[in-house]
Amino acid sequence: MSTLVNDLKEKWEALKAENPHLRIRNAAAELGVSEAELLATSVGEGVTVLKPEFQNILAEA
């Protein structure tokens, strides 16, 4: 993980500890990043990256 991602992860974790009921969109706004950037700090820890296979998935439906 890059230094920028680690820094964001630390800030996000600290903000969650201070405000446990804070919504991710509000946290993202406060930190000046997108919700997706905050989610990306936890890939592999309960967050899964989706594969862009939408046409195949929709064809199966």
Alpha-carbon span 38 to 27, nearest angstrom: 9
pTM over 0.75: no
6-16 tens-digit pLDDT: 899 999 999 99
Token pair belonging to 20: 């446990």
E strand or H helix that includes residue 7: helix 3-18
- pLDDT tens-place string over residues 14-57: 999 999 999 999 999 999 999 999 999 988 898 888 888 878 87
Q: What residues pair up with 47 in beta bridges, in sequence order?
A: 43
**Pick from 60, 59, 24: which is nearest to 41 by CA?**
24
* pLDDT band of 1, cuts 50, 70, 90: low
How much is the pLDDT for 47?
87
* Burial (CB count within 10 angstroms: exposed 0-12, middle 13-18, buried 19+), residue 14: exposed
